[in-house]
Amino acid sequence: MMNNKQAFIFDMDGVLTDNMQFHADSWVELFRDFGLKGLDAERYLVETAGMKGHDVLRYFLDPQISEREAERLTDLKDFLYRVMSRNRIKAMPGLRHFLDAANQKGVKLGIGSGAGPKNIDYVLGILDMTETFQAIVDPFQVLHGKPQPDIFLRVASLLEVPPSACIVFEDAIPGVDAARKAGMQCVAVTTTNRAEAFSHFDNVLQVIDDFTSLCPDKLLKKLNEKQPMTIL
């Protein structure tokens, strides 16, 4: 019989909620204290959105930064982010209906995020989605963060779904690249990048602004057309 296990794996920031501007602004404020010039929110979003905090610090501030200092500065940035966003976090339009429809179809749901566990708990708590996902992986659970595929592969493993049967939902270029390296198809969300930024990725099934017109059945059909039938 055909193996019908399938999964939707969601990045969190910029996908479940349109909050990437809050992250960008908090990084800019942090780096301003270090006298870093030439970094604005747009540059952060284009070049490093989706990366874990330690990698952002290595990219912009110091490639040799110690783990201890990177952790301290990431915690400070995350505190700024939570202060800025606490009353502004909202679910993406159409998201709740889409998740309910996917769940009714038996699709497994997971999160593969570049955010730390405290920020994941923070956002899912505000959205009242703490119990929605069957597997949640953050960058501290794997060896390499995005754009490497480790996070998404770990989610697929926890969900017991092969990578070829997973669709990733991503807003950031490193995340789409991570999905491609994991052998996963992707739905790109335009909260962080314009649609044309995803045009060179061959694993992008669809580009969306939000979830209002997205249908799980149509996505699964596209996925099945991309992969060979598995016979057990």
Going from the C-alpha of 218 to that of each of 92, 129, 205, 214, the distances in angstroms are 20, 24, 10, 8
Among candidate residues 181, 114, 187, the one with its CA nearest the CA of residue 149: 181
Tens-place pLDDT, residues 32-45: 888 877 778 888 88
d(CA 190, CA 213): 14
pTM to 2 decimals? 0.87
CATH, range 20-85? 1.10.150
The CATH number of domain 7-18+90-226 is 3.40.50.1000:
yes
Any idea of the CA torsion for 143, 149, 155, 158, to the nearest 10 degrees?
Answer: -70
Per-residue pLDDT, averaged over 38-53, amounts to: 84
| Residue 157, pLDDT score | 97
151: its two tokens: 């996070």
Length of the chain as a residue count = 232
| Residue 4, pLDDT score | 57
d(CA 105, CA 165): 14
What residue spans define the domains of the chain? Answer: 7-18+90-226, 20-85
Per-residue pLDDT, averaged over 198-222, amounts to: 95
